[in-house]
Structure 1
Amino acid sequence: MQSVLFVCLGNICRSPTAEAVMLHLVEQAGLQDRIVVDSAGTGDWHIGEAPDSRARAYGARRGYDLEPLRARQVAASDFERFDHILAMDAANLRELRRQCPVALQGKVQLLMDFAPGESGSEIADPYFGGAEGFERVLDDCETACAGLLDALRTRE
């Protein structure tokens, strides 16, 4: 069993989108019994809330179901619980590394490190923008999550 936690700031746009994309890919690959997926935020503003309505709508257009997801904040136990803790951007990566015990730092990295040719890139926060931002998040998540799934398969 392998486990993945996607992390952004509020857990209402980028990380739940990544979670939904990855859940879809895992289901398509028939690996639900071998890969666990979740998402969280470094901030606590939206705990218990559904993902942003725009993230849900744009995700649904591509066949991703964000409806059942609810925001939560990263917990100290997540660093032990998850094998891969993937930040959407450098600011959240820094915060995760600040919180993460030294012995577990190797679990924390950027999601885009799994996108071919995009290592070190960020998934931009679409919250204050328009439709193009949410479409870009989906594009980036689809590319990076496909790469992540390939990487997880090679570790089995």
Structure 2
Amino acid sequence: MPIRRTKLKNILLVCTGNTCRSPMAEAMLDGAVDESDILDGTIKTDSAGTFAFDGSEPAAHAKTVMKELGFNIDRHRSKQVDQELVDWADMILTMDTYGLEQMQVMFPEAADKMLPLKSFACKDSAEKENEEYYNIEDPYGEDLETYRSCAAEIKFCIDKLVEELENLHE
């Protein structure tokens, strides 16, 4: 699904528990937007989970990895995705196809503004046809190296997303 040719203002990033992938992606996207001469100040972000317990801290390894990358997510607290967040968002990016399917069932009226974050990293049509390609695996409960790998994958996708957003805002 291509980005609609409008200037996006609000982007919601969604994973399962809102303690690993989506808060990491939110912090990275915020940082990239702040560093962009084109996007600075034009985009707001938020994150939530499809099965989140409100108020949980980020996973310890997520905090560690993000600090290694120069981001602090210590103040983040998880929250369940709700209608208000969905209405607020111009674009909803999920961390995997399962999350996308959950969101489409929960909020079918907003399906046209949902897509996997990894869709921005597709290199060729063969990858686009492989549903598994769109999944950024959940590192929850895994070791620090798995979190580092997940963060690198998210960063690559965020960089591609920012390129697309800059093209829309030029």
Same fold (TM over 0.5): yes
Structure 1 letter corresponding to 2:103: L
Percent identity (aligned): 30
1:56 to 58, 63, 79: 63
- Superposition deviation, residue 110 in structure 1: 0.3
How far, CA to CA, are the matches of 2:52 and 2:147 in structure 1? 22
How far, CA to CA, are the matches of 2:122 and 2:108 in structure 1? 29
How far, CA to CA, are the matches of 2:103 and 2:40 in structure 1? 26
CA RMSD of aligned residues (A): 1.5
Residue aligning to 2:114:
108
TM-score, normalising length from structure 2?
0.84
Q: 1:61-96, CA deviations, whole angstroms, 9 ceiling, x for partnerless residues? A: 011121221111101122221111011112111110
Deviating runs (4+, > 3 A) in structure 1?
A: none
User: Where do residues 6-155 of structure 1 align in structure 2 (5 Å cutoff)?
Assistant: 6-30=13-37, 31-45=39-53, 47-102=54-109, 104-117=110-123, 119=128, 120-155=133-168
How far, CA to CA, are the matches of 2:51 and 2:40 in structure 1? 28
Give structure 1 stretches of 5+ with no counterpart.
Answer: none
- Superposition deviation, residue 51 in structure 1: 0.8
Name the larger-Rg structure. 2
